[in-house]
Amino acid sequence: MNILNQNKTSFAVVLPAGGLGKRMGSSVPKQLLSLRGKPVYFHSLETFLSMDEIAEVILVVPKDWKSHFEQELLDGNALSKEYQEKLKIVEGGKERWESVKQGVLAISKSSHVLVHDVARPFISKDIIRKSCLALEAKGACIVARPVNDTVKVVQDGVIQDTLDRTTVWLAQTPQSCSVEQLKSLYKKMEQNPLDFVPTDESSILEYFNIPVYVIRGDALNDKITTPEDWERFSNNAFYKNQ
């Protein structure tokens, strides 16, 4: 059911699926590995496609794998015709932010965008809806969760400082913004390139002094990066207890 209503706000999702997952030690991109009977990327893709709140989904993939995704999703029977009509597949760039940019530029009928990493396969519809509502009511926002452990700053193997953990949050996705705002920032970055490589959308927004609100996430929305992460997410007990 679509909980977003009166004011015709429309939402797109960009799913960057361009990472090769080298830390997983796999010969194929980690997003194509099978997790609980489906490719990693397919879990979040299916979740977003199934939601009435989401008008279009842009899947951003590595150039050399684009035909694979097209054959699997647009030419095959993996998705219904309704889902296929909501989906676009585009080639990514060298860096993550460049891939997201390609996805944002492919949006054709939505006013706002949620960017979500497919390596976070078990995003809940509740978090997605909260992101849409916060984006509509407040503006740019991200999903994050507070840390539970004491956080140390370490350099060359030696502790330099201890941070106040009550102010430290672990960034997750979706990270959300208006489409026009992101496009405007990309134009500014073309004219005056940043002096750092942004690892997420929030870092771009922060650089341009745009307030970013936080929505509380959960452990099930953590990212699969290492073999240890894979074991955790493959564990039935972990999945059921979240």
- The model's pLDDT over 131-170, given as tens digits with 9 standing for 90+, comes to 999 999 999 999 999 999 999 999 999 999 999 999 999 9
CB neighbour class for 196 (10 Å; exposed up to 12, middle 13-18, buried from 19): exposed
Please report whether residue 1 resides in a domain: no
- The model's pLDDT over 191-226, given as tens digits with 9 standing for 90+, comes to 999 999 999 999 999 999 999 999 999 999 999 988
Query: Is the per-residue pLDDT at 233 higher than 70?
Result: yes
Query: Is the per-residue pLDDT at 240 higher than 90?
Result: no
- Give this prediction's pTM: 0.91
Check if the beta carbon of residue 133 is closer than 8 Å to that of residue 3: yes
Please report whether residue 2 resides in a domain: no
What CATH number is associated with residue 128?
3.90.550.10
Please give the residue range of the domain that contains residue 226.
Answer: 11-241
Distance from C-alpha of 3 to C-alpha of 223, rounded to nearest angstrom: 27
Amino acid 28: pLDDT: 66
